[in-house]
Amino acid sequence: MNDNLFQLLNRMAGHYDWIDDFMEFCAQDIVLIMIAVIACLWLTGKESFQKSAFFACLTAAVSLLIGSLIISPAVDHPRPFVAHQVTQLIAHAPDASFPSDHATFAFSLAFAIWFTNRRLGVALLALSVLTGIARVYVGVHYPADIAGAIVLSFVVGFLVHKLSGILNFLPMIPIRIYRKIADKLTFLPRAQ
């Protein structure tokens, strides 16, 4: 099923330049939009938004560490272009593919925000889904790599959200630093 789903999506690649260009953007650069959203949350100066941004970054960091240091070496699944003849639209190292780092990063940010702000979280989840589909379309991941990233991101996001009350002191350190800087630089929003 994993191979069949991969072939279904990847078979569409290489036929229309504008679709390929869009999918390449989604596969590589859509995460930059998500980073910008997290940065905007932080720069509002509103403590609750800053905490959400902090915990989103923490969720992404923990998810990526677990994925790349524990799961990926244990599973050691080859990328589609290593195991099959594929239409590969972006260059990538032939390292282990499970779980997808891009999808893990995107879904970690999205789920972390979704737990505190449903509307913004849904928008970020939509961007994450585009990222995941595009990673398969461009030939660098299997659908199972994306599914693994979703599960990992959700579990870590849920645990971080549940522990955020205990971990509440962590975001206060950078928030205090931000407030000191904002007091000196008039163009930064003040704490709210």
192 has a pLDDT exceeding 60: no
What's the pTM? 0.89
Are the beta carbons of 111 and 151 closer than 8 angstroms? Answer: no
Name the average pLDDT for the chain: 91
**pLDDT tens track for 31-87:** 999 999 999 999 888 899 999 999 999 999 999 999 999 999 998 888 888 878 888
List of residues 6+ apart from 15 with CB closer than 8 A: none
Are the beta carbons of 45 and 118 closer than 8 angstroms? Answer: no
188 has a pLDDT exceeding 70: no
Domains delineated in the chain: 2-183 (1.20.144.10)
Percent of all residues in the chain with a pLDDT value above 70, rounded to a whole number: 96
Backbone angles phi, psi at 54, to 5 degrees: -60, -50
